[in-house]
Amino acid sequence: MKITRVDAVPVDMKLAEPYTIAYETIDSARNVFVRIETDTGPVGWGCAAPDLEVTGETSESVVTAVLDVIESLLRGSDPLRTAMLLERLRGPLASQPSARAAVDMALHDILGKTAGLPLWKLLGGYRHRIRTSVTIGILPSDETVMQARHWIDRGFRSLKLKGGKDLDSDVERLMRVRAEVGPRVGLRFDANQGYTAEETLDLVARVKSVRLELIEQPTPKGDPEMMGRVTAAAPLPIMADESLMNLRDAFRLARKGLVDMVNVKLMKVGGIGDALQINGVARAAGFEVMVGCMDESAYAIAAGLHYALARPNVELADLDGHIGLVGDPAGGAVRLKDGYLYPTNRPGIGFVPEL
């Protein structure tokens, strides 16, 4: 089997409801779908969700990478040699993790289709579903409570609130949401680098009765030692997100014990292959792993889901980036029921985007 063609298709999708985080407001998403064709039939699909703030990429840079670099480096190669091909791309695409992630997905899709197995089973098959949280952006207190009730009524039992812009407002919103949803709903808080160590610990003390499951990336990614001070003093788990971009970051966080948990996003780390390596470091360090996402087509969400289902150490999921995307060509790539995500169970990633 040989790769005969690699191409890229950018797709614009509007968000049904724009949302705000600590440093920006998002109302749309542009993903780039990557298609790898072979001479014997199997076609692999991948999806990149570049984000200039997080991955340092744009959709234009991903398309350029596919057409000018990836296609020429992969054409004529055996697509089943995933490790060799992804290593070939590592140098030229060192600063383009979502482009690498899209190729990684497409190669794994071909691998699963060739084996006749859904990818989660091929990679380990630990669980068949996982509960996901759903995210509420930074909103006024009353609207935050309304959103929380909306998602609970739709069957979700885990909510993640964004914050990091105003400490007093964040405390009020967390207290009011807990009062609204009751004690059995899991609450997570993501400050998106918006706090200092002192502010984070102040929030922790003031919302003790809320019983947060975790706090995600409370402090700036450029100062991992600051987050380490929070981890050492806080009585609840602290999770790295923006501070974890690659395997080396995972090692640094683990070596110094700077966090309790890590959020692994395929778009940040370069795909499933690298995510599995990071998971190994996390497990050795005693870190729990959450699989997260960007604003992604359900196809990319499906790839993250397969990774999560394959490994026991990936205990948490925040795979909601596809919810509310208008015009997603892969809307059926995952199944959501009562807050749990399920794969299609077809071979590979299990869906063919309608492009």
Q: Do domains 3-116 and 121-343 have the same CATH topology?
A: no
- In sign, the C-alpha dihedral spanning 212, 214, 220, 223 is positive
- For the domain made up of 3-116, the CATH class stated in words is alpha beta
Q: Cα(183)–Cα(226) distance, rounded to whole angstroms?
A: 31
Nearby residues of 300 by Cβ (< 8 Å), 6 or more positions away? 31, 47, 48, 49, 101, 105, 266, 267, 293, 294, 321, 322
Domain boundaries, the chain: 3-116, 121-343
Q: Which residue in 264, 276, 346, 324 sits closest to 334, CA to CA? A: 346
Contact 207, 218 (CB under 8 A): no
Bridge partners (DSSP) listed for residue 44: 36
Q: What tokens appear for 125 in the block?
A: 């098959």
Q: Which residue in 281, 254, 244, 267 sits closest to 319, CA to CA? A: 267
Q: Cα(16)–Cα(327) distance, rounded to whole angstroms?
A: 10
- For the domain made up of 121-343, the CATH class stated in words is alpha beta
Q: What predicted TM-score, i.e. pTM, was given to this entire model?
A: 0.95
Per-residue pLDDT of the chain (355 residues; tens, 9 = 90+): 999 999 999 999 998 877 777 666 777 899 999 999 999 989 999 999 999 999 999 999 999 999 999 999 999 999 999 999 999 999 999 999 999 999 999 999 999 999 999 999 999 999 999 999 999 999 999 999 999 999 999 999 999 999 999 999 999 999 999 999 999 999 999 999 999 999 999 999 999 999 999 999 999 999 999 999 999 999 999 999 999 999 999 999 999 999 999 999 999 999 999 999 999 999 999 999 999 999 999 999 999 999 999 999 999 999 999 999 999 999 999 999 999 999 999 999 999 999 9
Q: Give, as one character, the DSSP assignment of residue 348.
A: B
Residues identified as active-site:
162, 190, 216, 241, 265
